[in-house]
Amino acid sequence: MTKFTTTSGERPVAVVTGATGGLGAQICRTLAQAGCAVVAGYRSSAQAAQTLVAELDGGDHRALAAPVTDSAALARLADDVATYYGRCDVLVNCAGTTRFVAHDNLDGMDDVLIEDLLATNVRGPFAMVRALRPLLAKSGLAGGAAVINISSIAAQTAMGSNVIYCASKAALDNLTKSLARALAPGIRVVSVSPGLVDTEFVKSMDTAWRDEQAARTPLGRLADPQEIAHAVLAAARDLRFSTGYVLPVDGGRPLR
């Protein structure tokens, strides 16, 4: 794998929220393998984050609390990143939440769930960018710092775990475009938009349902977490003249 460095040859500093999930952990591994110093951000899974950090390639990785719905805690995170590294080159907003509720079950979407979804999936990424903006502005990456928002095909298809989840990912894609305009030229902002990803959580679900989802995808399978992680790396390292766009990693699902 081609190593990822700043223009001065330093290791990029990458902060990943939701790092202990199946997708977040793979993103951390891929960024570390590419040469980044990784901050594995977690909400409550401190031990899992510490275990992940200990397994990453290279050194100078850290597990730090990053509860994206707590702006005061994110300010402390920014202070810690500033103390340890002095800058942030890549921010991956991978923290997210959902719950399965049939789209026609409007009463099943109680206000607490709606507020939790929007606070985590929309306000959370914005709050992370707001907290880390001064450190992102100090990035030494060619093309500027990179913010990668992990979105979903649900933003486009309006099909997913529930109505508000779909809306939250559509809002996140819109946020990507607005922030890309606001933060250019020093900070690029991109959405990586997976289809259904075959994480351990998804593998634990009904096999017939998983097979049906794969059959609906033109490429005939679900996404592998590593494929999403490689898209994140490409957006941060290689696509230096691209910002404000949505990068699909969905096997062509919207074609059907």
Residue tagged 């969905």 (tokens): 250
Q: State the sign of the Cα–Cα–Cα–Cα dihedral 191, 194, 199, 201.
A: positive
CB 66 within 8 A of CB 131: no
CA 166 to chain centroid:
16
Q: Which residues pair with 145 in a beta bridge?
A: 187
- 111-118 helix and 163-183 helix, angle to the nearest 10 degrees: 30
* Catalytic one of 42, 84, 85, 165: 165
Kindly state the helix (H) or strand (E) to which residue 15 belongs, with its residue range: strand 13-16
Q: Which residues pair with 197 in a beta bridge?
A: 223
Question: Per the structure block, which two tokens stand in for 215?
Answer: 């059959």
Q: DSSP assignment, residue 197? A: B
85: annotated active-site residue: no
Type of residue found at 156:
Q
Q: Which residues pair with 93 in a beta bridge?
A: 149
Q: Which residues pair with 92 in a beta bridge?
A: 16, 148
Question: Per the structure block, which two tokens stand in for 99?
Answer: 């719950």
Q: Which residues are catalytic?
A: 165
